[in-house]
Each structure stands twice: as C-alpha cells, then as structure tokens.
Amino acid sequence: MCRPVPEVCGMILFNNCFDDLTDGLCEGVVTHIYGPPASGKTNLALIATANALGQGKVVYIDPEGGFSAARLKQISGEKFEDVLNNTLLVEPTTFDEQKLSIARLDEVITSMKISLVVVDSIAMLYRMEEDKDVRMLGRILAQLLRAARKYNLPVLLTNQVYSEYDTNRIRPIGGQISEYFTKNVVELCRRDDNSRYAVVRRHMTKPEGLTVEFKITRSGVKALNECRLDQPTPAADK
C-alpha cells in the first residue's frame, strides 16, 4: 500500500494513501478535489475534518447537505464528540447564503483558532442559479484563496463534474475558473464496476498523473495499490 509520509507540506492529513498522493492539505493553498457522485469526495472532507482535531477548529461549509454525523463517527471513532465539537458547520441553502458564509470567514478566523476550511461542494448551489455567471463562482473562489494566503490556512474544496459535449471529457464545474484559483487538484473517478481511483491533475510537488486505486471503508478510505504514474483510463474516455 502507499508508504508512510513522514514530512508533508501541510498540517492536515488524510491517511497514508492520500498523503502519499497529495502531501496532505498544504497551508496557504486551496486544494480542489472533484469527481462524480459517490466517488469519495465527502469521505475525504470528513477524514480531513477528523484529523484536524487538536490543531484548531474546522469551518465546514456544506451547501450539499451531505454532512453526516453518523459517517463522521465511523471515521473518527472514540474522538467523535471532540471532533464534532471542533467543527463549525454552516449549511447554506442558496448561493447568496453561501457567498455570505464565505464573505464572513475573515470575521470567524480572527475570532478563534481555525485550522481548516472545507467547502463541500463549491458549485452545487451555483448550478441551481437561474442566471448563472461563472464570474460569481470566481469571486468566491478568490475570497477562499485570499483567506488561505492571508491566514496561512489549508482550504479544501470539493466539486461536482460534467461531461464535455464534444470530447466526453470529465471536467469540474466552473472549468478554468475553478482550476485557476486552486494549486493542488485531484480527480476522483468511478468505473462501471464501482471501483475507484484518484489522479493528480495538478500539484506543486507531485507529478501530474500520479494515481492510486482505493476503496471506501467503514473507517474512511483504503488504498488498493501503491501510488503510480501508469494512470488508468477514465471510464468516460473509453
């Protein structure tokens, strides 16, 4: 399985498998994880939330309504109550509420010790807007990047995907805008047989195409092989 990583660029980790793939969540950097439904995005967000315990509170912005205390309990085990009390859960139901919750991050970060900001997922409410303008998404991404840099915090974004009409390529919602504001980008993929793998699409220190096969378990995620560069072909491109 993926080897242990003794030194990583961030203080917030996932587990050995994904830390080998990503170096953890880097301080001052927005990490972008995108993929189709049930590919593991929220699981990784909850794992990072549990692992932030003892370093400061986690701001968990949940536009999808996918935050599960039961799943967090499975992941965090005996630490569950402490992890839950360490989590500031924000549940916007409109894109305006989401924009407001992100605009207020400065106020929250300066009033208490924050170790991690999670948005799961960044574009769900944006997709529901009747008059969508990608610049609206760009503005909140810029605010998140500013907060990451100003306060030297790791920020984790998950994102939904769509298939390009002409090429059938899988792309994150927001396209180039969502990619512009994020330095570390990982795609989660599901095959027709429900097997899963993660691919580095861009990273400050890791090679593009670095891949690990994984499965979702009761306690989180588990690698099925060592990280490698011989990237499997996404099902959408077959």
User: Which residue ranges make up each domain of the chain?
Assistant: 16-237
Query: How many whole angstroms separate alpha carbon 107 and alpha carbon 77?
Result: 31
Task: Give the percent of the chain with pLDDT over 70.
Answer: 91
- In single-letter form, the type of residue at position 46 comes to L
Which helix (H) or strand (E) covers residue 44, if one does? helix 41-51
Q: Is the pLDDT of residue 236 over 60?
A: no
| Whole-number pLDDT of residue 149 | 96
Asked whether the whole model's pTM tops 0.85, one would answer yes
Q: Is the pLDDT of residue 235 over 70?
A: no
Structure tokens at 198: 């993660």
Kindly report the number of other CB atoms within 10 A of residue 83's CB atom: 23
- The lowest-confidence range among 44-48, 109-113, 136-140 is 136-140
pLDDT, tens digit, 9 for 90 and up, residues 105-123: 999 999 999 999 999 999 9
The pLDDT of 120-144, averaged and rounded, is: 87
CA 143 vs. chain centroid, Å, equals 17
Mean pLDDT score of the chain: 88
Q: Is the pLDDT of residue 176 over 60?
A: yes
Q: Is 40 left (phi over 0), alpha (psi -120 to 50) or beta?
A: left
Q: Cα–Cα distances in Å, from 207 out to 194, 197, 203, 224?
A: 26, 16, 7, 20
3.40.470.10, 3.90.1150.10, 3.40.50.300, 3.40.50.2300: CATH of 16-237: 3.40.50.300
Q: Is the pLDDT of residue 30 over 80?
A: yes
Structure tokens at 125: 């409410």
Better pLDDT: 234 or 148: 148
Task: Give the percent of the chain with pLDDT over 90.
Answer: 70
The pLDDT of 122-138, averaged and rounded, is: 84
The pLDDT of 14-34, averaged and rounded, is: 89
Better pLDDT: 45 or 236: 45
User: Can you tell me which residue has the tokens 């049930």?
Assistant: 38
* Residue 28 near residue 149 (C-beta atoms within 8 A): yes
Nearest Cα residue to 119 out of 151, 152, 143 = 143
95-103 and 134-151 helices cross at what angle (nearest 10)?
20
Q: What is the band of 80 on the pLDDT scale with cuts at 50, 70, 90?
A: very high
Q: What is the band of 1 on the pLDDT scale with cuts at 50, 70, 90?
A: very low
Q: What is the band of 132 on the pLDDT scale with cuts at 50, 70, 90?
A: confident
The contacts of residue 8 (CB under 8 Å, 6+ apart) are 19, 23, 24, 26
Structure tokens at 112: 């208490």
